Structure 1
Amino acid sequence: MKTLTPSWKSSSVLRTATAWLALGLGGPIACSSAEEELERYQQEETQEAAHLATFDTLDFDVFTHQDWGRLQHSHAQDVIVHWPDGHQTQGIDVHIADLKAMFVYAPDTRIEVHPIKLGSGEWTSVVGIMEGTFTQPMPLPDGSSIAPTGKSFKLIMNTVSHWKDGVMTEEYLFWDNQSYMQQIGLAP
């Protein structure tokens, strides 16, 4: 699968800067402004690339291998997480508890690819493929459980994240819960 990156900004900024320089418009002031804009853009692109690399590590290593002690490398202590079922949490410890719960009944849950990755300033949007198999009892809030069906799932999911100081401060998770329940045999 091909990874998409926002190359349109680079060519636009470079064309603008080159045009100003080639035409000599505005003399040194225009040149300085174009150079400052190019430098600002390059810094933003470097930041976006760092965030996307951190996100790859988060999904491919930390999430997939349940290495929860490393979650603070990508998440703020007071991270706000919006889940596909509509609930929202605040704090890394609550987020870790929610993530751990996904592995109780599907211990082979994993994300190994990000076919689409986009960044813009302090925001990223990453599409991943989450897979696993319902092989263990699924605990319910009343203390009972649902017997495993042995069925596997493969979901397209999306995470939209806001970053500050190198970590996510807010995370929006999206996937089709109906499809998820159907795939693991809990919905028609």
Structure 2
Amino acid sequence: MKTNWIFRTLSLLLFVSVFAVSCKDDLDKEKEDDYKAQIEALQAELAKYTAENANIEELLAKFDDLDFEVFTNQEWTRLHESHAEDILVHWPDGSTTTGLDRHIEDLAAMFVYAPDTRIEQHPIAIGSGNITAVMGVMEGTFTEPMPIGDGQFIEPNGNSYKISMVTIGLWNEEGVMYEEYLYWDNLTYMRQLGLAE
């Protein structure tokens, strides 16, 4: 993670600066003041990146809980812990929705025909500032009829699917996502379900 590299670099620079000041007994007052000012600036930068890193780690932990527990176990009453009431969601097909209730409806619809839908791993999870990007592995089995409108259904075929998907989240200062971008390959998803060639 970028912040870890910056953290290590600033730590090293701070150590070198402190070491240089402590080893020079013959520094004049002006140089000593200059070194102290540089050390204070480095300490301030280090504190900034440490706080940012801690915030990103907290958001990523919240996202793990969102996918592994809330989504996988359909604990929709908990979705407000990570999503704003007026969340704007961008779907892989290019459509967007606004509002938590609508987002819950859309997520729950995925479980109607694949009740074992789940995300159990995040191979990649990164962040910077108020943005996180997480790759998950979503999988499930087409075991129940799929509603397609007008009271019609596609009968289940027992096919399993397993696809990589990415969620990019924009978070507010309270640690709640106000905008979410969902990406996965819909054609691969439909092919694995046996609904496309």
Q: Give the TM bin, normalised by the shorter chain.
A: over 0.9
Q: Which moved more, 1:139-148 or 1:29-38?
A: 139-148
Q: With the length of structure 2 as denominator, give the TM-score of the two structures.
A: 0.88
Given candidates 114, 118, 134, the residue that maps to 1:110 is: 118
Given candidates 66, 75, 80, the residue that maps to 2:83 is: 75
Match of 2:162 in 1: 154
- Separation in 1 of the partners of 2:109 and 2:14? 51
- Separation in 2 of the partners of 1:139 and 1:37? 54
Structure 2 unaligned segments of length 5 or more: list them: 22-30
Question: Runs (4+) of structure 1 moved beyond 6 Å?
Answer: none
Q: Does 1:98 align with 2:109?
A: no
Given candidates 11, 32, 36, the residue that maps to 1:28 is: 36
- When you count helix as a share of all residues, which structure comes out higher? 2
**Which one has more relative contact order, counting CA pairs under 8 Å at least 6 apart?**
1
Q: How does 1:165-184 map to 2 (within 5 A)?
A: 165-184=174-193
**How far has the Cα of 1:78 moved from its partner?**
1.0
Contact 1:20 1:34 in 2 (8 A): no
**How far has the Cα of 1:19 moved from its partner?**
4.0
Aligned residues, how many? 184
Match of 2:50 in 1: 42
CA RMSD of the aligned region, Å?
Answer: 1.4
Given candidates 8, 30, 35, the residue that maps to 1:11 is: 8
Structure 1 unaligned segments of length 5 or more: list them: none
**How far has the Cα of 1:70 moved from its partner?**
0.4
Q: Matched residue of 2:149: which SS? A: coil
